[in-house]
Amino acid sequence: MAKKLKKNDDQLADAVRMSSQEIWQAGLAAFAKAQEDEGKFFSMQLFEERVLRALSSIGVPTRQEVDALHQRIDELTRQVAALSAKPAVKKAGTKAAAKPAVKKPAAKKTATGKPAAKKAK
């Protein structure tokens, strides 16, 4: 029975050794991957800066400039709405709006289909 326990202990120790070695290798691989990703991140940052410089040189506005324009438009819209809510003041010397034309009553027709003669006043 002592040999059997010794054999189980050796197998357990080998399994723990193998697991710890796999964990160590996984840690090294993760570290190497992190270093590689850091380099990619730095390269991507440089690329973005170059693109922004190129866009600004041809006159394309930045996100901050577009946001500032949106804020200005909102402010102007509020000002126009406030001015529109006030009653309009008429300027002196302007013509009044044209009055709609008054329709004359249609002439009555007789039984023959001809217009009736106008009555003298």
In a domain, 28, yes or no: yes
In a domain, 96, yes or no: no
Q: How many domains does the chain contain in total?
A: 1
Domain that holds residue 44: 12-83
pLDDT (tens digit per residue) in 66-112:
999 999 999 999 999 999 987 666 666 555 555 556 666 666 666 66
In a domain, 36, yes or no: yes
In a domain, 43, yes or no: yes
In a domain, 113, yes or no: no
* pLDDT of 8 strictly over 80: no
In a domain, 119, yes or no: no
pLDDT (tens digit per residue) in 20-72:
888 888 888 888 888 888 878 888 888 889 888 888 889 988 889 999 999 99
In a domain, 22, yes or no: yes
For 57-68, letters b (16+ CB in 10 Å) and e give eeeeeeeeeeee
pTM of this prediction?
A: 0.36
**SS3 state of residue 109:** strand
Q: What is the pLDDT of residue 96?
A: 55
Q: What is the pLDDT of residue 37?
A: 81
Which pLDDT band holds residue 4 (cuts at 50, 70, 90)? Answer: low
In a domain, 61, yes or no: yes
